[in-house]
Amino acid sequence: MTTTVRIDQHQLFIDGEFRPAGSGAQFETVNPADGTLITTVARAGEQDVDEAVRSARDARRKWRNATPTDRGRLLLAIAAQLRAESEALALIECLDNGKPISQARFDIEYSARYFEYYGGLADKLDGYVIPLGSDYHSYTTLEPFGVVALITPWNAPLMQAARGLAPALATGNTCVVKPAEDTPLTILEFARIARECGIPAGVINVIPGFGEDAGAALVRHPLVDRIAFTGSVETGRIIARMAADRLAPVSVELGGKSANIVFEDVDVDVAAFNALRAINLNCGQNCSAGSRLLVHSSIHDAVLDSMVALERGLTVGPGLEDPDVGPLTTRDQYQRVCDYLRIGREEGAEAISGGSALVDERLNGGNFVQPTIFAGVTPQMRIAREEIFGPVLCVLPFDDDDEAVAIANDTDFGLVAGIWTNDFSRVHRVSAALEVGQVYINEYFAGGVETPFGGVKDSGYGREKGLAALEHYTRMKTMVARV
Protein backbone atom coordinates (compact mmCIF):
# COMPACT_ATOMS: atom_id res chain seq x y z
CA MET A 1 0.00 0.00 0.00
CA THR A 2 1.60 3.26 -1.04
CA THR A 3 -0.94 5.74 0.31
CA THR A 4 0.56 7.86 3.08
CA VAL A 5 -1.74 9.26 5.69
CA ARG A 6 -0.56 12.27 7.67
CA ILE A 7 -1.54 12.31 11.30
CA ASP A 8 -0.56 15.46 13.14
CA GLN A 9 -2.81 15.61 16.18
CA HIS A 10 -2.21 13.25 19.09
CA GLN A 11 -2.99 15.38 22.09
CA LEU A 12 -5.90 16.60 24.12
CA PHE A 13 -7.51 19.80 22.87
CA ILE A 14 -8.34 21.96 25.86
CA ASP A 15 -8.90 25.69 25.99
CA GLY A 16 -7.81 26.14 22.40
CA GLU A 17 -4.48 24.33 22.83
CA PHE A 18 -3.20 20.86 22.08
CA ARG A 19 -1.50 19.45 25.13
CA PRO A 20 -0.47 16.15 26.70
CA ALA A 21 -2.50 14.56 29.46
CA GLY A 22 -1.63 15.93 32.90
CA SER A 23 -0.44 12.48 33.91
CA GLY A 24 1.50 12.02 30.68
CA ALA A 25 -0.57 8.90 29.96
CA GLN A 26 -1.11 7.77 26.40
CA PHE A 27 -2.94 4.98 24.61
CA GLU A 28 -2.54 3.26 21.30
CA THR A 29 -4.86 3.40 18.34
CA VAL A 30 -4.61 0.48 15.98
CA ASN A 31 -5.32 -0.13 12.29
CA PRO A 32 -8.19 -2.65 12.16
CA ALA A 33 -7.13 -3.81 8.70
CA ASP A 34 -3.85 -5.31 9.92
CA GLY A 35 -3.57 -4.84 13.67
CA THR A 36 -0.60 -2.48 13.40
CA LEU A 37 -0.13 0.57 15.58
CA ILE A 38 -1.21 3.82 13.90
CA THR A 39 -0.08 6.16 16.64
CA THR A 40 -0.33 6.91 20.35
CA VAL A 41 -2.70 9.51 21.70
CA ALA A 42 -2.85 11.41 24.99
CA ARG A 43 -5.18 9.74 27.46
CA ALA A 44 -7.33 12.15 29.45
CA GLY A 45 -7.71 11.59 33.18
CA GLU A 46 -10.01 13.19 35.72
CA GLN A 47 -7.88 16.33 36.04
CA ASP A 48 -7.88 16.87 32.27
CA VAL A 49 -11.63 16.38 32.15
CA ASP A 50 -12.04 18.98 34.86
CA GLU A 51 -9.87 21.46 32.97
CA ALA A 52 -11.78 20.86 29.74
CA VAL A 53 -15.13 21.38 31.43
CA ARG A 54 -13.93 24.53 33.20
CA SER A 55 -12.61 25.91 29.94
CA ALA A 56 -15.99 25.24 28.29
CA ARG A 57 -17.72 26.87 31.23
CA ASP A 58 -15.54 29.97 31.06
CA ALA A 59 -16.19 30.29 27.32
CA ARG A 60 -19.93 29.87 27.52
CA ARG A 61 -21.03 33.45 28.19
CA LYS A 62 -19.06 34.92 25.35
CA TRP A 63 -20.25 32.22 22.97
CA ARG A 64 -23.91 32.45 23.87
CA ASN A 65 -23.76 36.22 23.64
CA ALA A 66 -22.16 36.19 20.19
CA THR A 67 -24.73 37.08 17.56
CA PRO A 68 -26.40 34.01 16.11
CA THR A 69 -25.28 35.25 12.70
CA ASP A 70 -21.64 35.16 13.78
CA ARG A 71 -22.05 31.71 15.27
CA GLY A 72 -23.71 30.53 12.09
CA ARG A 73 -20.96 31.97 9.90
CA LEU A 74 -18.31 30.20 11.93
CA LEU A 75 -20.13 26.91 11.52
CA LEU A 76 -20.39 27.49 7.79
CA ALA A 77 -16.65 28.21 7.66
CA ILE A 78 -16.03 24.89 9.41
CA ALA A 79 -18.25 23.12 6.87
CA ALA A 80 -16.23 24.64 4.04
CA GLN A 81 -12.92 23.68 5.62
CA LEU A 82 -14.08 20.11 6.25
CA ARG A 83 -14.81 19.90 2.55
CA ALA A 84 -11.46 21.47 1.65
CA GLU A 85 -9.66 18.84 3.73
CA SER A 86 -12.08 16.00 3.07
CA GLU A 87 -9.63 13.65 1.37
CA ALA A 88 -7.07 13.86 4.19
CA LEU A 89 -9.81 13.43 6.80
CA ALA A 90 -11.33 10.48 4.94
CA LEU A 91 -7.95 8.77 4.81
CA ILE A 92 -7.49 9.15 8.56
CA GLU A 93 -11.02 7.86 9.22
CA CYS A 94 -10.42 4.95 6.88
CA LEU A 95 -7.21 4.04 8.67
CA ASP A 96 -8.49 4.45 12.23
CA ASN A 97 -12.00 3.03 11.83
CA GLY A 98 -11.37 0.63 8.95
CA LYS A 99 -14.30 1.63 6.77
CA PRO A 100 -13.95 1.62 2.97
CA ILE A 101 -12.53 4.93 1.77
CA SER A 102 -15.64 5.83 -0.23
CA GLN A 103 -17.75 5.38 2.92
CA ALA A 104 -15.25 7.48 4.85
CA ARG A 105 -15.57 10.23 2.23
CA PHE A 106 -19.32 10.04 2.62
CA ASP A 107 -18.93 10.46 6.41
CA ILE A 108 -16.80 13.58 6.01
CA GLU A 109 -19.28 15.11 3.59
CA TYR A 110 -22.09 14.25 6.01
CA SER A 111 -20.13 15.91 8.82
CA ALA A 112 -19.78 19.04 6.70
CA ARG A 113 -23.52 18.92 6.03
CA TYR A 114 -24.23 19.06 9.77
CA PHE A 115 -22.25 22.28 10.10
CA GLU A 116 -23.89 23.70 6.99
CA TYR A 117 -27.39 22.79 8.11
CA TYR A 118 -27.12 24.01 11.71
CA GLY A 119 -24.93 26.96 10.70
CA GLY A 120 -27.82 28.09 8.52
CA LEU A 121 -30.27 27.63 11.37
CA ALA A 122 -28.30 29.51 14.02
CA ASP A 123 -30.08 32.82 13.38
CA LYS A 124 -33.57 31.41 12.83
CA LEU A 125 -34.50 30.26 16.31
CA ASP A 126 -37.51 32.26 17.36
CA GLY A 127 -39.53 32.17 20.52
CA TYR A 128 -43.21 33.01 20.55
CA VAL A 129 -45.69 35.34 22.17
CA ILE A 130 -48.44 33.94 24.40
CA PRO A 131 -51.72 35.88 24.42
CA LEU A 132 -52.85 36.48 28.02
CA GLY A 133 -55.05 39.51 27.45
CA SER A 134 -54.13 43.17 27.53
CA ASP A 135 -52.81 43.18 31.12
CA TYR A 136 -49.91 40.86 30.40
CA HIS A 137 -47.10 40.41 27.96
CA SER A 138 -45.70 36.88 27.76
CA TYR A 139 -43.05 35.46 25.47
CA THR A 140 -40.56 32.64 25.25
CA THR A 141 -36.90 32.40 24.34
CA LEU A 142 -34.70 29.41 23.58
CA GLU A 143 -31.55 29.37 25.68
CA PRO A 144 -28.48 27.17 25.47
CA PHE A 145 -27.85 24.79 28.37
CA GLY A 146 -24.24 25.87 28.85
CA VAL A 147 -21.66 23.08 28.76
CA VAL A 148 -22.67 20.06 26.67
CA ALA A 149 -20.81 16.76 27.00
CA LEU A 150 -20.80 14.58 23.90
CA ILE A 151 -19.75 10.96 24.33
CA THR A 152 -19.38 9.32 20.96
CA PRO A 153 -18.87 5.82 19.55
CA TRP A 154 -16.34 4.41 17.10
CA ASN A 155 -18.56 3.42 14.16
CA ALA A 156 -18.65 6.85 12.47
CA PRO A 157 -16.26 8.91 14.58
CA LEU A 158 -16.33 12.35 13.00
CA MET A 159 -19.90 12.13 11.78
CA GLN A 160 -21.22 11.17 15.22
CA ALA A 161 -19.34 14.02 16.85
CA ALA A 162 -20.51 16.49 14.19
CA ARG A 163 -24.11 15.40 14.73
CA GLY A 164 -23.97 16.70 18.30
CA LEU A 165 -21.43 19.50 17.94
CA ALA A 166 -23.14 21.39 15.13
CA PRO A 167 -26.57 21.88 16.77
CA ALA A 168 -25.05 22.37 20.22
CA LEU A 169 -22.72 25.10 18.99
CA ALA A 170 -25.32 26.73 16.74
CA THR A 171 -27.60 27.20 19.74
CA GLY A 172 -24.87 28.76 21.87
CA ASN A 173 -23.57 25.88 23.97
CA THR A 174 -19.91 25.10 24.49
CA CYS A 175 -18.80 21.49 24.16
CA VAL A 176 -16.54 18.80 25.55
CA VAL A 177 -16.25 15.77 23.29
CA LYS A 178 -15.09 12.40 24.59
CA PRO A 179 -14.49 10.31 21.48
CA ALA A 180 -14.35 6.53 21.58
CA GLU A 181 -10.91 5.31 22.62
CA ASP A 182 -10.71 3.16 19.47
CA THR A 183 -11.05 6.04 17.00
CA PRO A 184 -9.80 9.38 18.37
CA LEU A 185 -8.00 10.75 15.31
CA THR A 186 -10.44 12.62 13.05
CA ILE A 187 -12.07 14.56 15.86
CA LEU A 188 -8.63 15.87 16.88
CA GLU A 189 -8.04 17.05 13.31
CA PHE A 190 -11.47 18.60 13.48
CA ALA A 191 -10.44 20.55 16.60
CA ARG A 192 -7.48 21.96 14.68
CA ILE A 193 -9.77 22.95 11.80
CA ALA A 194 -12.26 24.59 14.14
CA ARG A 195 -9.47 26.61 15.75
CA GLU A 196 -8.15 27.70 12.36
CA CYS A 197 -11.66 28.79 11.41
CA GLY A 198 -11.75 31.03 14.48
CA ILE A 199 -13.68 29.08 17.12
CA PRO A 200 -12.77 30.82 20.40
CA ALA A 201 -10.73 28.92 22.99
CA GLY A 202 -12.90 26.76 25.23
CA VAL A 203 -15.91 26.56 22.90
CA ILE A 204 -14.81 23.11 21.70
CA ASN A 205 -12.68 20.78 23.82
CA VAL A 206 -11.73 17.23 22.86
CA ILE A 207 -10.55 14.75 25.45
CA PRO A 208 -9.59 11.37 24.03
CA GLY A 209 -9.57 8.72 26.72
CA PHE A 210 -11.32 5.71 28.08
CA GLY A 211 -14.95 5.38 29.02
CA GLU A 212 -14.63 4.28 32.62
CA ASP A 213 -12.30 7.13 33.60
CA ALA A 214 -12.53 10.11 31.19
CA GLY A 215 -16.11 9.35 30.09
CA ALA A 216 -17.41 8.71 33.58
CA ALA A 217 -15.62 11.77 35.01
CA LEU A 218 -17.24 13.88 32.30
CA VAL A 219 -20.74 12.56 32.96
CA ARG A 220 -20.35 13.09 36.71
CA HIS A 221 -18.84 16.56 36.43
CA PRO A 222 -21.13 19.04 38.23
CA LEU A 223 -20.48 21.80 35.66
CA VAL A 224 -21.70 19.74 32.71
CA ASP A 225 -25.21 20.98 31.94
CA ARG A 226 -26.31 18.43 29.37
CA ILE A 227 -25.15 15.06 28.10
CA ALA A 228 -25.62 13.42 24.72
CA PHE A 229 -24.50 9.83 24.46
CA THR A 230 -24.35 7.47 21.50
CA GLY A 231 -23.22 3.91 22.07
CA SER A 232 -24.20 0.59 23.55
CA VAL A 233 -27.33 -0.08 25.61
CA GLU A 234 -25.22 -1.22 28.54
CA THR A 235 -23.17 1.99 28.68
CA GLY A 236 -26.27 4.07 27.98
CA ARG A 237 -27.90 2.69 31.13
CA ILE A 238 -24.78 3.44 33.19
CA ILE A 239 -24.63 7.00 31.88
CA ALA A 240 -28.34 7.64 32.36
CA ARG A 241 -28.01 6.43 35.97
CA MET A 242 -25.03 8.67 36.65
CA ALA A 243 -26.81 11.62 35.06
CA ALA A 244 -29.91 10.93 37.16
CA ASP A 245 -27.88 11.34 40.35
CA ARG A 246 -27.49 15.01 39.63
CA LEU A 247 -30.59 15.37 37.43
CA ALA A 248 -28.50 16.29 34.41
CA PRO A 249 -30.53 16.09 31.21
CA VAL A 250 -29.31 13.30 28.99
CA SER A 251 -30.23 11.76 25.69
CA VAL A 252 -29.12 8.28 24.74
CA GLU A 253 -29.00 6.92 21.21
CA LEU A 254 -28.34 3.21 21.56
CA GLY A 255 -28.47 0.00 19.62
CA GLY A 256 -30.93 -1.60 17.28
CA LYS A 257 -32.12 -4.85 15.76
CA SER A 258 -33.99 -3.29 12.94
CA ALA A 259 -36.46 -5.11 10.73
CA ASN A 260 -36.23 -4.56 7.00
CA ILE A 261 -39.58 -5.82 5.70
CA VAL A 262 -39.94 -6.97 2.11
CA PHE A 263 -43.52 -7.49 0.96
CA GLU A 264 -44.48 -9.73 -1.93
CA ASP A 265 -45.16 -6.98 -4.51
CA VAL A 266 -41.60 -5.75 -5.04
CA ASP A 267 -38.83 -6.63 -7.46
CA VAL A 268 -36.90 -9.48 -5.89
CA ASP A 269 -33.47 -8.38 -7.12
CA VAL A 270 -33.96 -4.80 -6.00
CA ALA A 271 -35.03 -6.03 -2.56
CA ALA A 272 -32.06 -8.39 -2.35
CA PHE A 273 -29.53 -5.74 -3.36
CA ASN A 274 -30.88 -3.25 -0.85
CA ALA A 275 -31.16 -5.78 1.95
CA LEU A 276 -27.44 -6.46 1.61
CA ARG A 277 -26.61 -2.78 1.55
CA ALA A 278 -28.71 -2.28 4.71
CA ILE A 279 -26.62 -4.81 6.61
CA ASN A 280 -23.17 -4.59 5.03
CA LEU A 281 -22.63 -0.82 4.96
CA ASN A 282 -19.82 0.01 7.39
CA CYS A 283 -19.41 -3.72 7.96
CA GLY A 284 -22.77 -3.83 9.73
CA GLN A 285 -21.54 -1.45 12.42
CA ASN A 286 -24.54 0.88 12.29
CA CYS A 287 -27.06 1.16 15.07
CA SER A 288 -29.63 1.46 12.27
CA ALA A 289 -28.40 -1.54 10.26
CA GLY A 290 -31.16 -3.63 8.71
CA SER A 291 -30.08 -6.73 10.62
CA ARG A 292 -33.37 -8.66 10.46
CA LEU A 293 -34.70 -9.20 6.97
CA LEU A 294 -38.37 -10.11 7.06
CA VAL A 295 -39.46 -11.52 3.70
CA HIS A 296 -42.91 -12.57 2.55
CA SER A 297 -42.87 -16.36 2.23
CA SER A 298 -44.01 -16.27 -1.41
CA ILE A 299 -40.72 -14.61 -2.47
CA HIS A 300 -38.51 -15.82 0.39
CA ASP A 301 -36.50 -18.36 -1.61
CA ALA A 302 -36.11 -16.08 -4.61
CA VAL A 303 -34.79 -13.23 -2.42
CA LEU A 304 -32.38 -15.61 -0.72
CA ASP A 305 -31.06 -16.91 -4.05
CA SER A 306 -30.56 -13.39 -5.31
CA MET A 307 -28.76 -12.31 -2.14
CA VAL A 308 -26.46 -15.31 -2.15
CA ALA A 309 -25.48 -14.58 -5.75
CA LEU A 310 -24.86 -10.93 -4.96
CA GLU A 311 -22.94 -11.62 -1.78
CA ARG A 312 -20.60 -13.93 -3.69
CA GLY A 313 -19.47 -10.88 -5.67
CA LEU A 314 -18.75 -8.68 -2.64
CA THR A 315 -15.15 -7.69 -2.02
CA VAL A 316 -13.74 -7.70 1.51
CA GLY A 317 -10.45 -6.01 2.35
CA PRO A 318 -8.61 -3.03 3.84
CA GLY A 319 -10.57 0.21 3.66
CA LEU A 320 -7.90 1.91 1.57
CA GLU A 321 -8.63 -0.55 -1.27
CA ASP A 322 -12.25 0.58 -1.17
CA PRO A 323 -13.82 -2.85 -0.92
CA ASP A 324 -17.55 -3.42 -0.38
CA VAL A 325 -16.88 -4.53 3.19
CA GLY A 326 -13.93 -3.53 5.40
CA PRO A 327 -12.72 -4.95 8.70
CA LEU A 328 -14.62 -4.66 11.97
CA THR A 329 -13.28 -1.65 13.83
CA THR A 330 -12.09 -3.27 17.04
CA ARG A 331 -10.67 -6.62 18.03
CA ASP A 332 -13.39 -6.97 20.67
CA GLN A 333 -16.03 -6.44 18.02
CA TYR A 334 -14.39 -9.03 15.78
CA GLN A 335 -14.48 -11.53 18.63
CA ARG A 336 -18.08 -10.68 19.36
CA VAL A 337 -19.17 -11.18 15.75
CA CYS A 338 -17.27 -14.48 15.56
CA ASP A 339 -19.08 -15.57 18.73
CA TYR A 340 -22.46 -14.78 17.17
CA LEU A 341 -21.55 -16.70 14.01
CA ARG A 342 -20.92 -19.73 16.21
CA ILE A 343 -24.07 -19.11 18.27
CA GLY A 344 -26.17 -18.88 15.11
CA ARG A 345 -24.91 -22.25 13.90
CA GLU A 346 -25.46 -23.80 17.35
CA GLU A 347 -29.01 -22.45 17.41
CA GLY A 348 -29.73 -24.24 14.15
CA ALA A 349 -29.69 -21.33 11.71
CA GLU A 350 -28.16 -22.06 8.33
CA ALA A 351 -25.37 -19.82 7.03
CA ILE A 352 -26.29 -19.80 3.34
CA SER A 353 -23.47 -17.34 2.70
CA GLY A 354 -20.31 -16.73 4.75
CA GLY A 355 -20.56 -17.95 8.32
CA SER A 356 -17.07 -17.53 9.73
CA ALA A 357 -14.02 -15.33 10.09
CA LEU A 358 -12.23 -14.62 6.84
CA VAL A 359 -9.12 -16.75 6.42
CA ASP A 360 -6.86 -15.13 3.87
CA GLU A 361 -3.12 -14.74 4.29
CA ARG A 362 -3.21 -11.30 2.74
CA LEU A 363 -5.58 -10.13 5.45
CA ASN A 364 -3.78 -11.64 8.43
CA GLY A 365 -3.92 -9.54 11.57
CA GLY A 366 -7.05 -7.69 10.42
CA ASN A 367 -10.54 -7.94 11.90
CA PHE A 368 -12.15 -9.50 8.84
CA VAL A 369 -15.22 -11.73 8.83
CA GLN A 370 -17.21 -13.09 5.93
CA PRO A 371 -20.43 -11.20 5.22
CA THR A 372 -22.99 -13.73 6.37
CA ILE A 373 -26.63 -14.54 5.67
CA PHE A 374 -28.41 -16.77 8.14
CA ALA A 375 -31.58 -18.46 6.87
CA GLY A 376 -33.92 -20.62 8.92
CA VAL A 377 -33.87 -18.04 11.71
CA THR A 378 -36.73 -18.01 14.21
CA PRO A 379 -37.69 -14.96 16.28
CA GLN A 380 -36.59 -16.65 19.53
CA MET A 381 -32.98 -17.22 18.49
CA ARG A 382 -30.34 -15.04 20.10
CA ILE A 383 -29.03 -14.01 16.68
CA ALA A 384 -32.51 -12.64 15.94
CA ARG A 385 -32.81 -10.79 19.25
CA GLU A 386 -29.37 -9.44 20.15
CA GLU A 387 -27.49 -6.71 18.37
CA ILE A 388 -24.49 -8.26 16.58
CA PHE A 389 -23.08 -5.07 14.99
CA GLY A 390 -21.44 -6.89 12.12
CA PRO A 391 -22.21 -7.99 8.54
CA VAL A 392 -24.55 -10.73 9.69
CA LEU A 393 -28.06 -10.82 8.28
CA CYS A 394 -30.88 -12.90 9.81
CA VAL A 395 -33.70 -13.78 7.42
CA LEU A 396 -37.18 -14.54 8.76
CA PRO A 397 -40.24 -15.35 6.63
CA PHE A 398 -43.78 -14.02 7.23
CA ASP A 399 -47.17 -14.74 5.70
CA ASP A 400 -49.15 -11.52 6.09
CA ASP A 401 -48.85 -7.90 7.19
CA ASP A 402 -49.91 -8.56 10.77
CA GLU A 403 -47.32 -11.25 11.19
CA ALA A 404 -44.63 -8.99 9.71
CA VAL A 405 -45.47 -6.25 12.20
CA ALA A 406 -45.61 -8.71 15.09
CA ILE A 407 -42.15 -10.11 14.28
CA ALA A 408 -40.73 -6.62 13.68
CA ASN A 409 -41.98 -5.41 17.06
CA ASP A 410 -40.96 -8.54 18.94
CA THR A 411 -37.65 -7.06 20.09
CA ASP A 412 -36.28 -5.02 22.97
CA PHE A 413 -35.05 -2.46 20.44
CA GLY A 414 -36.91 0.17 18.44
CA LEU A 415 -34.61 2.27 16.32
CA VAL A 416 -35.62 1.99 12.65
CA ALA A 417 -37.51 -0.24 10.27
CA GLY A 418 -37.51 -0.56 6.50
CA ILE A 419 -40.57 -1.27 4.35
CA TRP A 420 -40.50 -2.40 0.72
CA THR A 421 -43.85 -2.35 -1.06
CA ASN A 422 -45.71 -0.50 -3.78
CA ASP A 423 -48.97 -0.56 -1.82
CA PHE A 424 -49.25 2.85 -0.23
CA SER A 425 -52.14 2.01 2.05
CA ARG A 426 -49.97 -0.73 3.46
CA VAL A 427 -47.04 1.69 3.85
CA HIS A 428 -49.07 3.93 6.13
CA ARG A 429 -50.76 1.11 8.03
CA VAL A 430 -47.53 -0.74 8.71
CA SER A 431 -45.52 2.42 9.49
CA ALA A 432 -48.07 3.38 12.12
CA ALA A 433 -47.90 -0.04 13.74
CA LEU A 434 -44.11 -0.28 13.96
CA GLU A 435 -42.59 0.55 17.35
CA VAL A 436 -39.54 2.45 16.09
CA GLY A 437 -38.19 5.98 15.84
CA GLN A 438 -38.16 6.10 12.04
CA VAL A 439 -39.29 4.10 9.05
CA TYR A 440 -37.43 3.94 5.73
CA ILE A 441 -39.80 3.34 2.84
CA ASN A 442 -38.47 1.85 -0.40
CA GLU A 443 -34.94 3.03 0.39
CA TYR A 444 -33.04 1.88 3.45
CA PHE A 445 -31.08 4.71 5.18
CA ALA A 446 -33.17 7.27 3.27
CA GLY A 447 -32.95 10.78 4.67
CA GLY A 448 -30.09 12.98 5.78
CA VAL A 449 -29.01 15.51 8.38
CA GLU A 450 -32.48 17.06 8.04
CA THR A 451 -34.45 14.03 9.23
CA PRO A 452 -34.91 13.49 12.99
CA PHE A 453 -33.38 10.32 14.34
CA GLY A 454 -33.63 8.42 17.61
CA GLY A 455 -35.10 5.40 19.26
CA VAL A 456 -37.87 3.96 21.36
CA LYS A 457 -37.60 1.10 23.88
CA ASP A 458 -33.98 -0.02 24.47
CA SER A 459 -32.81 1.99 21.48
CA GLY A 460 -32.92 5.03 23.73
CA TYR A 461 -34.65 8.38 23.85
CA GLY A 462 -34.21 11.85 22.45
CA ARG A 463 -34.02 12.93 18.83
CA GLU A 464 -30.86 13.96 17.01
CA LYS A 465 -30.68 15.58 13.54
CA GLY A 466 -33.08 17.94 11.84
CA LEU A 467 -34.99 20.67 13.64
CA ALA A 468 -35.84 18.19 16.38
CA ALA A 469 -32.23 18.28 17.66
CA LEU A 470 -32.64 21.93 18.51
CA GLU A 471 -34.89 20.88 21.37
CA HIS A 472 -32.01 18.79 22.64
CA TYR A 473 -29.63 21.63 22.92
CA THR A 474 -31.87 24.47 24.04
CA ARG A 475 -34.27 25.01 26.88
CA MET A 476 -37.25 27.26 26.75
CA LYS A 477 -37.62 30.20 29.08
CA THR A 478 -41.00 31.88 29.52
CA MET A 479 -41.39 35.53 30.54
CA VAL A 480 -44.70 36.80 31.88
CA ALA A 481 -45.03 40.53 32.61
CA ARG A 482 -47.90 42.46 34.09
CA VAL A 483 -48.04 45.60 31.99
Active-site positions read 253, 287
Work out whether 215 is an interface residue with ligand ADP (CB under 6 A).
yes
Minimum distance from residue 456 beta carbon to ligand ADP (Å): 19
Q: For ligand ADP, which is the closer residue by CB, 178 or 292?
A: 178
The candidate with the shortest Cα–Cα distance to 208, out of 31, 45, 56, is 45
Contact 324, 280 (CB under 8 A): yes
Regarding 181 and contact with ligand ADP (CB under 6 A), the answer is: yes
Candidates 59-67, 123-131, 230-238, 298-306; binding stretch for ligand ADP (CB under 6 A): 230-238
Only segment of 76-84, 175-183, 256-264, 464-472 that touches ligand ADP (CB under 6 A): 175-183
Nearer to ligand ADP, 179 or 355 (CB): 179
Q: Single out the residue of 87, 212, 346, 360 in contact with ligand ADP (rule: CB under 6 A).
A: 212
**Smallest distance, ligand ADP to C-beta of residue 378, A:** 27
238 binds ligand ADP (CB under 6 A): yes
Question: Which one among 9, 171, 173, 235 touches ligand ADP, defined by CB under 6 A?
Answer: 235
Position 151 contacts ligand ADP (CB under 6 A):
yes
Give yes or no for residue 239 binding ligand ADP (CB under 6 A): yes
Residue 96 or 116: the one with the smaller Cβ distance to ligand ADP is 96
Is 180 a residue that touches ligand ADP (CB under 6 A)?
yes
Q: Minimum distance between the CB of residue 218 and ligand ADP, rounded to whole angstroms?
A: 7
Residue closer to ligand ADP (CB basis): 203 or 337: 337
Site track 183-202 with ligand ADP (rule: CB under 6 A), x = hit? --------------------
Query: Should residue 325 be labelled a site residue for ligand ADP when binding is judged by CB under 6 A?
Result: no
Q: Helices 185-197 and 86-97 meet at what angle, rounded to 10?
A: 160
Kindly tell me which of 151 and 419 has the beta carbon lying closer to ligand ADP: 151
CB of 213 to ligand ADP, least distance (A): 9
- Which position among 29, 55, 152, 421 is part of the footprint of ligand ADP (CB under 6 A)? 152
How far from each other are the two terminal CA atoms of the chain, in whole angstroms? 74
By CB under 6 A, is residue 178 in contact with ligand ADP?
yes
Residue 211 as a binder of ligand ADP (CB under 6 A): the answer is yes
Residues near ligand ADP (CB under 6 A), total: 17
Does 219 bind ligand ADP (CB under 6 A)? Our answer is yes
Residues at the interface with ligand ADP (CB under 6 A): 151-153, 178, 180-181, 210-212, 215-216, 219, 231-232, 235, 238-239
